[in-house]
Structure 1
Amino acid sequence: MKTILIIEDDPYIAELQRDYFLLHNYKVELCHDGSEGLRKAQSGEYDLIILDLQLPGVDGFEICRQIREQLDVPVLIVSAKKEEIDKIRGFGLGADDFITKPFSPNELVARAKAHLARYERFTDNKPKVVNTIEIRELSINKSSHRVFLNGKEVAITAKEFEVLVFMATNPNQVFSKEELFEKIWGLESSGEIATVTVHISRIREKIEADPSNPQFIETVWGAGYRFTV
């Protein structure tokens, strides 16, 4: 049974989220304080984290940042903050999704299920046949979920890895932000395609010698992005 940690200071909202996840056979723990929530999240005992931004103690942005530095676990932000800058900041810190309040509990559960399924696909510990993509100085091992540049391992999140693998296995094809969002996140975009730009930028910072002049993931102005081999 998957275990979900909900870090939310509003008891009503936290309990609403909990009840819907319990109906779908998830184990749920609630936390109403940012400091305690961060401590629990860092234990590594949870399969997915639902995170509010406006919390006492430590705010959600800082919690997200520290989680992503230490763990590779799906993080879904659920917040009353609706400004584009807040969403971009959340995605930039490594959040996998950003849902604004008020929200549909059924949609929240559906999104959580989708992220858990994708996370499992890339972190399955069962033995597999090694499947490596070699492109110039870049090496992507799909079996071990590892990326190497000039023989040196690159730290990369599960979602960044998924974006990179998708583009590298579809070289020289142009994908719009909307297409990438649909194919990678598997959800209706609802205007939240800013996460695509953020993830592409973060990947470039890690694999490009000069992110401002990318040689792997190129921008095709007015169309989208292309992985060049």
Structure 2
Amino acid sequence: MLKKLLIIEDEVIMLDLFKIHLKNQYDLTLVEDGARALEVIQNNTFDCIILDIMLPYIDGWSICKIIREQSITPILMLTARSEIEDRVRGLELGADDYLTKPFDFEELKARISALLRRSEYQDQNLQNNILSFNNGLLRIHKDSRKVYFDNNRIDLTSKEFQLLCVMGESPSRVFTRDELLDFIGDLHDSSKLRSVDSHIKNIRIKFRQVQTGVKIIKTVWGLGYQIILPGVE
């Protein structure tokens, strides 16, 4: 499937050149003014955005800022101005690359390819480091050790986070108390086994403080515990 590119450019001649050089490699959406561009962005997703700075109605600076507040889609900014201040401003607003007109389309293609490769790498790393359930309703960020439920931060202790993360990595598995003790590094004795129950209880309380009645960990009687989809018993 072709990668989807949004090109925001008000010069008709430039739009024609984009079509000639890129139509066989990418699925193109072409927009001629800033106001229309924001409508398109709100209703569609793209793999890369090529954004001119000088646009009717809403300029490229403003569009770049709005895009970056909502997504990490790669942005390549275009301008006829070569001042260093313009390049710095674009990068500070969140643009990923910068190209000054006039430019060679082979260079443009190379830069687009580089941005797409970098984006795919970042997406893969993000997927590997985030456990997500129910379309992101519950998110467990393994690297930063943060947990979010319905976009609300859940503050867990180190051991609570370890327990939730371990169960989240194998959501179909029922974990015994002994297994959970292994994962959090505690010794096996009756008092430590009860500490697992205490950690689980605290996790449940913290989630219910965000949403009353939410169920996040299921007790499987006689066996142990299992993470469940939020709200599903």
TM range (shorter): 0.5 to 0.7
Cα separation, 1, equivalents of 2:126 and 2:84: 39
Match of 1:11 in 2: 12
Q: TM-score, normalised by structure 1?
A: 0.55
**Larger RCO, structures 1/2 (Cα 8 Å, 6+ apart):** 1
Q: 1:63 to 1:127 in 2, by over 3 A?
A: closer
Rounded to whole Å, the distance in 1 between the matches of 2:111 and 2:39 is 25
Give the direction of change, closer, same or farther, for the CA distance of 1:84–1:17 in structure 2 (3 Å limit): same
Percent of residue pairs identical: 39
Mapped pair 1:94 → 2:90: no
In structure 2, list runs of 5 or more residues that go unmatched.
131-139, 149-233
Cα distance 1:76–1:56, how it changes in 2: closer, same or farther (>3 A)?
same
CA drift of 1:94 comes to 0.3
Report the alpha carbon displacement of residue 44 of structure 1 after superposing the two structures with TM: 4.0
Q: What residue identity is the alignment partner of 2:20?
A: D
Name the structure 1 match of 2:22.
Answer: 21
Point out the structure with the larger helix share: 2
Alpha-carbon offset, residue 126 of structure 1: 9.7
1:95-149 CA-to-partner distances (Å, cap 9, x unmatched) read: 0001000001111011001100110111138974x59xxxxxxxxxxxx888638
Opposite residue 107 of structure 1, the aligned amino acid is E
Match of 1:31 in 2: 31
**Structure 2 counterpart of 1:70:** 70
Q: Return the alpha-carbon distance in structure 2 between the equivalents of residues 126 and 83 of structure 1.
A: 35
Q: CA, structure 1 residues 146+35, in 2 after alignment: closer, same or farther (shift >3 Å)? A: farther
Residue 18 of structure 1, CA deviation: 2.4
Q: Compute the displacement of 1:59 (Å).
A: 0.1
Cα distance change, pair 88–31 in 1 and its aligned pair in 2 (3 A): same
Q: In the comparison of the two structures, how many residue pairs are matched?
A: 138
Q: 1:125 to 1:52 in 2, by over 3 A?
A: same
Residues 127 and 47 of structure 1: is their aligned pair in 2 closer, same or farther, counting only changes over 3 Å? closer
**Where does structure 1 lack aligned partners over 5 or more consecutive residues?**
132-143, 154-229
Q: Paired residue for 2:144?
A: 148
Tell me the residue number matched to 2:108.
Answer: 108
Structure 1 residues 126 and 79 mapped into 2: Cα distance closer, same or farther (>3 Å)? closer
Question: Which one has the largest radius of gyration?
Answer: 2
Tell me, in whole angstroms, the C-alpha distance in 2 between the residues paired with 1:8 and 1:84: 21
Over aligned residues, Cα RMSD in angstroms?
Answer: 2.6
The one-letter code matched in structure 2 to 1:78 is: L
